[in-house]
Structure 1
């Protein structure tokens, strides 16, 4: 019966005027994924259902029939099955209880209310979030900077040694996770609500393996974890924080899981997931629009389908640090940066594990690279630099700020037009390192995510530290707008000392 329905799905595709390839292109997936749908091997993940129904010109209910999927109380719930199973285990509920609760809550949610709540959370100003967390944890640990006459404070907790000479190597410890998280009634209700809202908003929940940070000394040490646990524990803190503005500041989940800085920095004692935020800087030659060569800095606005920093400005690529097929070989931060470049800027869908299982033994094998990445690799033109490490107090995530630099302007001439955002971004912006006024305006934008702003400031500082913010050397009077004006200090320095420092002075507590 399932096969007959999948034949009907193929018939509907053809009736809509789509080949397997054209449908895959509209959905930004591989043709092989469509083939597996039609063969009855897999079912589309939850976030794709609305767009798939629209592409085929059918209703949601008809699409369920075509895919032989149950009605609304089951359908895309398959995408959160493993998360629900984890909730059952941690709460002591009977198997299937969480799935039933999510299905019930999903069926009763008012779509308009969910979108309004999401918009409220997205619209929460970074300044308000910083103020709440500074009051909660104390401001001394927070990364701050000044640029363009504006003082900036973020929610990133860091240390001087994590900014100066951040760890550049990583090791993997395949230790069993002895911690057991017990979800009380408040946490379990929040988890169920999060999953139900996620289904309405078409947020991707894929229970892939991720890395958890175990420690940072001379090198970063990572261990294994599952995305399911993160999605219904640490990830809940961001929404709770935004909602607390209308709830007299009450944050029961934070009070339980991250009550103070000691718990934040107790990396082995909690699930500290996270990832990389990479500032991309592409050298560009002068042209009719730009009288001087420069670096193009790429910035994104996060889409509504991502798990966190929804609707915020961020550097790109930005992604979870996680393995593809080999946890030990993939543990280096550079591996995640290269993969995210392929996925988020160079249109490689087969390295996006939210679209389904990875089928290639080595997705980043040279023979599979996109044309832009292959050129960068063959010409040894891509430099990935570690610029800082911090813990984002919003959710307790670790953030490795990195800088991906292409100094050869030939790349931009050949492949600048091939750079495009994937589903994680609502659009891309380009900013010139030779336009001081625009950079100051960009830094001051309140819609930045804190980890994105952290990576931007650290990356710009590293660029200007080599006096190569503009591609070629210019006389001092015509230097890049940020050349020779960037420095770094720690909070151990006095405010009087800071006043005499160069204009960009990021620092964190010791």
Structure 2
């Protein structure tokens, strides 16, 4: 049966059919308990459109037995007159206020244009739809949903994706590792033996990704569910103040990795394409896991459309395959009050204001693989890592494209580098600074490509000079440091269930490599990878 529209009475009937308390029903929907209590107090209330969709989804995903009980409960209760809707003047006023908020954000215009084009709409339709959705967004419900998403562990995500895609991975496998005495990790990173332990020295001839001919965006046509999800993302982005800037991204079109060389061709895609399509897969999965809903094929509409099977995952040129580079950063530290000479390892907890790996543990730096000013010269993986070091560790706000427009012809020119980076770059690579790609994989969470890397600052004088100047930017909620001579604490870190899959992949591969080259500065948990 169709429920159109939901009221407080029918929402409570669904709760009763599911035999859930207020708390469990709220958790199932990803909303606040106060909202559920309000439905009981005002049975004639018509929930906002955001709630209507959540209730629709809960009903559609319910078992036949629950639906049967729901029909019985609704039949038992007397009908109640619906609460009057907003009069036309009030509704128009709410839409006008939402339109004004949209117009005040200079970065949403490109997203709205992109959505009109790919949804097949006349110009301006997406603006009206987003404004209408924004006028009904419940900010507290969004924050409650964020809390629930944060409770879903990396292991739950990996298991759900394993169940979704199966175990026949056509020559690939999911990256798994045993570490320490009994630790074991399984990630959602799809990889191959020849993509691991690469030993690729970045900023050398081995770092050879190239911009391909006809470097255009991937073709995309949005269906009804996809357009609704995109509209919802834009409205929620504006309501929560999440940063969304339409800078170009590299998209991986072909791959040619032959140890130690990184090869392949790249195209260009607008960031809004990623934000309104592939980046929505993670939220869809987390919401299902948080609510206990099924995550099998046919139950995740966006994943079923964009990334339905392993053939789609590996068909790089047929889809948008964006991605990035992330690195375990190890900084040599002289002996002192902390003990013998070691390396300091840096780990971040991602901010709630980022689109990628929101509120999760990750290595630092971590950034999208994207050009800054030169589409061809910025293709090497090492170029992204150096830029991210400047931005995320050394405080270069002028190369953060989420803060302002990029007007410098060469933001990484030696004369513009931060003092710490200038000091590192006054010696050839390998003397003070070492960059190495340790592994490559495709992340099943959103289909992203991941270049796991290791950054080693080898000269311990750096820590004395600049250790106090290292400070994470807005993308991190906190920054942690660990000693490479503390295997027990590092093992506990690897056990943490809040890791992002790509972050866990990078730190495991980084520790594995650092154990081989770190000498007496390291006493690290052993790491042995395997493919599941």
1:194 equivalent in structure 2: 233
Size of the aligned set, in residue pairs, is: 412
CA contact (8 A) 2:99 2:128 kept: no
2:385 paired with 1:337: yes
Kindly indicate whether the alpha-carbon contact (under 8 Å) linking 1:351 and 1:363 is maintained by their aligned counterparts in 2: yes
Structure 1 segment 34-433 matched on structure 2, within 5 A: 72-139=100-167, 141-148=173-180, 149-165=182-198, 168-177=207-216, 179-218=218-257, 219-245=263-289, 246=291, 247-249=293-295, 250-288=299-337, 290-380=338-428, 381-433=432-484
Structure 1 residues 281 and 178 mapped into 2: Cα distance closer, same or farther (>3 Å)?
closer
> For structure 2, which runs of at least 5 residues remain unmatched after alignment?
1-96, 201-205, 258-262
Deviation at 1:277, TM superposition (A): 1.1
2:285–2:300 contact (8 Å) kept in structure 1: yes
Q: Specify the SS of the correspondent of 1:386.
A: strand
Confirm or deny: 8 A CA contact 1:150 1:444 kept in the other structure.
yes
Does 2:503 match 1:452? yes
SS at match of 1:74: helix
Match of 2:108, SS?
A: helix
1:215 and 1:267 in contact (8 A); partners too: yes
Q: Is the 8 A contact 1:76 1:199 kept in 2?
A: no
C-alpha distance in structure 1 between counterparts of 2:424 and 2:512, whole Å: 23
CA drift of 1:356 comes to: 2.4
C-alpha displacement at 1:398, in angstroms?
0.4
SS of aligned partner of 2:466: helix
Structure 1, unaligned stretches of length 5 or more?
Answer: 1-68, 472-479, 487-503
Q: 1:464 aligns with which of 512, 515, 528?
A: 515
> d(CA) in 1 for partners of 2:185 and 2:276?
31
CA distance in 1, matches of 2:325, 2:159: 24
TM-score (norm 1): 0.78
Does the CA contact (< 8 Å) of 1:277 and 1:319 recur in 2? Answer: yes
Q: Deviations over 1:135-159 (max 9, x none)?
A: 0112462100011211110111111
Contact residue 219 and residue 319 of structure 2 kept, 8 A: no
Pick the structure with greater CA Rg. 2
- Does the 8 Å CA contact 2:332/2:458 hold for their aligned counterparts? yes
Q: Following TM superposition, by how much is the alpha carbon of 1:427 offset from its aligned partner in structure 2, in angstroms?
A: 1.1
Residues 201 and 304 of structure 1 are in contact (CA less than 8 Å); yes or no, is this contact kept in structure 2? no
Partner-residue secondary structure (3-state), 1:416: helix
**Per-residue Cα deviation, 1:254-288 (whole angstroms, up to 9, x for no partner):** 11111111110111111100101111000001101
Report the 3-state secondary structure (helix = DSSP H, G, I; strand = E; otherwise coil) of the residue aligned with 2:498.
coil
For residue 531 of structure 2, what is the aligned residue in structure 1? 508
Question: Do the aligned partners of 2:197 and 2:509 also contact (CA within 8 Å) in 1?
Answer: no
State the Cα distance separating 1:390 from its structure 2 match.
0.6
Deviations, residues 59-95 of structure 1 (Å, cap 9, x unaligned): xxxxxxxxxx997443444321111111110111110
Q: Is the 8 A contact 2:189 2:443 kept in 1?
A: yes
Check whether the contact 1:258–1:264 (CA below 8 A) recurs between aligned residues: yes
Whole-angstrom distance in 2 between the partners of 1:264 and 1:77:
34
Q: Pick closer, same or farther for the CA change 1:452–1:110 going to 2, 3 Å.
A: same
Tell me how far apart the structure 1 counterparts of residues 109 and 146 of structure 2 sit (CA, whole Å): 23
The two structures have a TM-score, normalised by structure 2, of 0.75
Q: Give the deviation of 1:200 after TM superposition.
A: 1.7
Task: Please state how far the C-alpha of 1:119 moved relative to its aligned partner.
Answer: 1.8
What is the deviation of 1:467? 4.6
Q: Structure 1 256/366 Cα, relative in aligned 2: closer, same or farther at 3 Å?
A: same
1:395 alignment partner, SS class:
coil
Alignment partner of 2:528: what SS? coil
* Aligned CA distance change for structure 1 residues 122 and 75 (closer, same or farther; 3 Å): farther
Residues 132-181 of structure 1: per-residue CA shift (max 9 Å, x gap):
00101124621000112111101111111111326742111142437421
SS at match of 2:499: coil
Q: Is the 8 A contact 1:174 1:224 kept in 2?
A: no
